Amino acid sequence: PDPGTAKLVGLAASDGRVYSPFNDKPPKSYAIRANAPALNITAANDAAIVHRNLADPTGCTVVEDAKLYNAVAGNEQILTHREITAGTGKWDNTPGPLTVIGLTPTHKLVMLVIGGRQPSTSEGMTTREAAEMLCRDYGVTDAINLDGGGSSTLCMADPACRVVNVPV
């Protein structure tokens, strides 16, 4: 991204170049947590959830044996080895729109966009409920919450680009 047009908070990488490090002090106005995990997709198209190497002061390396290639920050890990690890943040206890992403044991990537704040259409989910659904219905073992609210929008090129959900 052009640093003049995008403000990145948390780990972000594209084509092997890290554009934004893990953040140990995110702005209070952002929902991201300090050193929040990220999703990394390698050049070989293998996906994994990665965590900051706290021994590296730059915030640009991970503890896992992985080269950062295409990475995007989450704001918390909500499912770890099939155990719900959603914390006590705003989205953990308040139903609303969410975008969560997880991995199955066979390395299948599952992205779930949940609508919310729309009476009679969708009230949304808490991150705990989303983690339960990912595990129970899709076999996901590890997942992160990417974001919530109005930014929870899913677009797809099929063949023309279109918005798939009904964002708030």
- Digits of tens for pLDDT over the chain (168 positions)? 555 666 777 899 999 999 999 987 766 656 667 778 999 999 999 999 999 999 999 999 999 999 999 999 988 999 999 999 987 666 577 888 999 999 999 989 999 998 888 888 888 899 999 999 999 999 999 999 987 877 788 888 988 999 888 777
pTM across the whole model: 0.86
pLDDT of residue 123: 86
Query: What's the CA gap between 45 and 63, in Å, rounded?
Result: 19
> Which pLDDT does position 120 carry in this prediction?
82
* Range 30-52 burial, b when 16+ CB lie within 10 A, else e: ebbbebbbbbbbeeeeebbbbeb
| pLDDT of the residue at 75 | 87
- Alpha carbon distances (Å) from 82 to 30, 69, 79, 133, 142: 27, 26, 6, 11, 6
